[in-house]
């Protein structure tokens, strides 16, 4: 087990730079997706999930020979783009849902008060 740990440490020491570069590229992809999102439209950001899903199979490190999801040329796991972007999409969609819920409650409450006033005014008109 100690020998395996040394092998892992040696492998990471040799490929640590490329690992961090891949992490940086995945983060840059997320930042690019987030900055090009339009969260102020009155639609959920579901199309960004489609972009992320189609983007997952594309290699981050530019190695055209390996299109397998999450694999790098040397057999190590490739960092997946989309972790931060998916969190952003979820937060925006949840905020839109909360906003729509609150607006619906306000409309229903307003309609209830309006019908109550109409009922009272109709009743008072009929009584007098």
Per residue in 68-103, pLDDT (tens digit) is 334 344 445 555 667 888 888 889 989 999 999 999
Distance CA 18, CA 45 (A): 32
Cα–Cα–Cα angle for 11, 14, 18, nearest 5°?
105
Backbone angles phi, psi at 71, to 5 degrees: -110, 140
Please, what is the average pLDDT of the chain? 75
Which range marks the domain in which residue 14 is found?
Answer: 2-127
The more confident residue out of 68 and 7 is 7
The residue-averaged pLDDT of 104-124 equals: 85
What mean pLDDT comes out for the span 4-31? 81
Q: Do 30 and 81 touch, CB atoms closer than 8 A? A: yes
- DSSP 3-state of 77: strand
Q: Considering its fold, how many domains does the chain have in total?
A: 1
**Contact between 25 and 75 (Cβ < 8 Å):** no
Task: Supply the DSSP symbol for 37.
Answer: -
* Phi, psi angle pair for 38, to nearest 5°: -120, 80
């Amino acid at each position: 087990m100690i020998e395996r740990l040394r092998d892992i440490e040696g492998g990471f020491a040799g490929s640590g730079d490329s690992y961090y570069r891949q992490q940086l590229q995945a983060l840059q992809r997320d930042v690019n997706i987030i900055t090009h999102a339009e969260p102020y439209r009155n639609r959920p950001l579901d199309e960004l999930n489609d972009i992320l899903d189609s983007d997952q199979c594309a290699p981050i490190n530019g190695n055209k020979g390996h299109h397998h999801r999450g694999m790098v040329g040397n057999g190590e796991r490739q960092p997946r783009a989309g972790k931060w972007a998916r969190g952003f999409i979820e937060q925006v969609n949840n905020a839109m849902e909360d906003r729509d819920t609150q607006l619906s409650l306000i409309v229903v409450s307003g309609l209830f008060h309006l019908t109550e006033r109409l009922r009272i005014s109709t009743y008072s008109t009929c009584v007098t």
